[in-house]
Amino acid sequence: MRQLTKTEIALLITLNNSAQDWDRVYVAEPFNTQTIWDSRFEGVVELESNVTIINSTICNYHIGQDARVESVVRLESRNQSCFGNGVEVAAVNENGGRSVPIYNLLTAQTAYIVAMYRHKSALIKAITEQIANYAQTQCKDMGYIGKGSTIVGAKFIREVNVGQNVTIEGASLLENGTILDNAYIGIDVKMSNFIAVENCHIDRAVTADRVFVGENVHLSNGFTAVNSLLFACSELENGEACSIFAGPYTVSHHKSSLLIAGLFSFFNAGSGTNQSNHLFKCGAIHQAIHRRGCKFGSNGYVMAPAVEGEFTTIIGRHTRHHNTSDMPFSYLIEKEGQSTLLPAFGLKSYGTVRDIAKWQKRDKRAICRDIICYNNYNPLLADKAIKALNTLKELQAKHPESQEYHYNNTVIKQNMAKRGIELYQLYIEASLSAMLQKGECGKPMYNKWVDLAGMYIDKVALEELLDNFTTIAALQTALQQIAQNYDNNAHSWALAALETMLGHTPTDKEINAAIQKGIEAQNRLQTYTNADKLSDTSQTMQTGYGVDDDNPQIISADFNAVQGLN
């Protein structure tokens, strides 16, 4: 970079440009004065080649090659800044007990460990110190606009670094943050203390403070967020988030929905979704865990603390602090003021099948910084189904004459328990078959598995990684390697589970029999979900179609056309 010549300064002045000190404006070759009009420069300003600046004020910024800054009220870096790196985000617990410092390289897995493994104090200290050290490397007196980025019609941008090929159009206020490559920030967006990573899309009056916006996350239509971590492929609009850990594919589309003080993942919020996180005694200290695949029906409500098992559908109000973690694929329904649990009923729902299929189809990420496992049949859920099956049988044995059972502050009707046993048995058989058909035979390992913010992993392997932690980068590399070996690890778990069920090492014949039995179980489950799908296209569901005709054939034709069923 070089200083401007006297001739260039004179030309710039004739184009209605001004500077606090022209000697502090630096340019790269080739430099064309004709692409800079009606603008003011303050502090140190560095312009790479082919930069366009129109009607803007710029203070202490480096503008990258081919970048465009037009009609920006003020683009400034007034003080030394880390540009959002190191900002503490009080996710899950409003009081900060699970705070995660955000930084440019944060992943869902690292954030989950920092937030949810607080009992490992030495580990958390090591990780947060490394993040703090990284944040210091980002601290500079000047802001940066990357190559090919466009900023048009923005009002105030203060201490914000911008990566390559970023578009900012009409944002109202961006302060103390970083926006990484190919992101989009739109009209009337107000954000402070943030990191927004690759290919995220933030538009239409979003307001956010102390947030991390993950890869391919979409925020729009007045959505507000504070102290929240929002990871890959989540879509949030209209509603509100406060102190949430939104794992991959967290979705909320309604103005009346509040997500607060909880862990969410592959989640869908119905209109009016709401939670409470304090009981007016000790303050906002409580949290709720809505495990992978949970969804709230309209006006669903949960009072924390509470936990739901994976793929649970929550309908009505629930205030008794239930824990259905080991009852996946269930319905949790408010009935006569009680939380009634329908174990495994989600396995009959076509909605569950559709959800699982749609997530992978909607994965448009290019970087894939978060590790996501989409397998429906996996060790974690199969193990929970085994626990649920045993629990339901124990309840039946202990209360043979009872018409209902009490389980972790929920009620299970006797006939529902019986049906749940049948469905869990089918899911277990289907899961073992699916896992035994993939991967290579290794040493059987019947360990507990966990869902690490989208990644299924053997807890023993995870604990070993955490106990031998060196660097965040090494941890993430090790997690990637484990993810790549998922099929083999799942096969080993399934083999161990089958061995436990049989009471001896299974023979090849017994393994093949388990595979075949599981295929039959998969077919039976598919029969249930297909029937559920058909019920959603029945004549009753066609009410309101063919509005100007009484002919059933025309009504069906209109319904099929609208639903894309022709």
Residue 320 belongs to some domain of the structure: no
Classify burial at 364, counting beta carbons within 10 Å of its beta carbon; exposed 0-12, middle 13-18, buried 19 or more.
exposed
Q: What's this model's pTM, rounded to 2 decimal places?
A: 0.96
Number of structural domains the chain divides into: 1
Token look-up 């080991």 returns 326
Residue 461 belongs to some domain of the structure: yes
Q: What is the pLDDT of residues 494-548, one digit of tens each?
A: 999 999 999 999 999 999 999 999 999 999 999 999 999 888 888 888 899 999 9
Token pair of 210 as six digits? 């102390």
Token pair of 237 as six digits? 């609009």
Residue 340 belongs to some domain of the structure: no
Token pair of 263 as six digits? 């862990």
Asked if residues 371 and 479 have their Cβ atoms less than 8 Å apart, the reply is: yes
Residue 43 belongs to some domain of the structure: no
Residue 472 belongs to some domain of the structure: yes
| pLDDT band for position 419 (cuts 50, 70, 90) | very high
Q: Which one, of 84, 259, 242, lies nearest residue 175 by Cα?
A: 84
Q: Which one, of 379, 340, 346, lies nearest residue 496 by Cα?
A: 379
Q: What is the mean pLDDT of residues 288-295?
A: 98
| Torsional sign, CA 84, 90, 96, 97 | negative
Residue 423 belongs to some domain of the structure: yes
Residue 308 belongs to some domain of the structure: no
Token pair of 559 as six digits? 């319904």
Instruction: State the pLDDT at residue 34.
Output: 97
Instruction: State the pLDDT at residue 279.
Output: 75
Q: Which residues contact 440 (CB under 8 A, 6 or more apart)?
A: 487, 488, 491
| pLDDT band for position 25 (cuts 50, 70, 90) | very high
Instruction: State the pLDDT at residue 284.
Output: 79
Instruction: State the pLDDT at residue 139.
Output: 98
Instruction: State the pLDDT at residue 280.
Output: 61
Q: What is the mean pLDDT of residues 172-190?
A: 98
Q: What is the mean pLDDT of residues 550-558?
A: 89
SS3 325: coil
Q: Is the pLDDT of residue 564 over 70?
A: yes
Beta bridge partners of 517: none
Q: Is the pLDDT of residue 136 over 80?
A: yes
Q: Mean pLDDT lowest for which of 255-259, 421-425, 486-490, 560-564?
A: 560-564
Residue 415 belongs to some domain of the structure: yes
Q: Is the pLDDT of residue 174 over 70?
A: yes
Q: What is the pLDDT of residues 49-98, one digit of tens each?
A: 999 999 999 999 999 999 999 999 999 999 999 999 999 999 999 999 99
What single string gives the DSSP state of each residue in 478-516?
A: HHHHHHHTHHHHHHHHHHHHHHHHHTSPPPHHHHHHHHH
Instruction: State the pLDDT at residue 368.
Output: 97
Token look-up 């803007």 returns 56
* Helix H or strand E segment including 394: helix 379-398
Instruction: State the pLDDT at residue 442.
Output: 83
Range of the domain at 441: 351-533
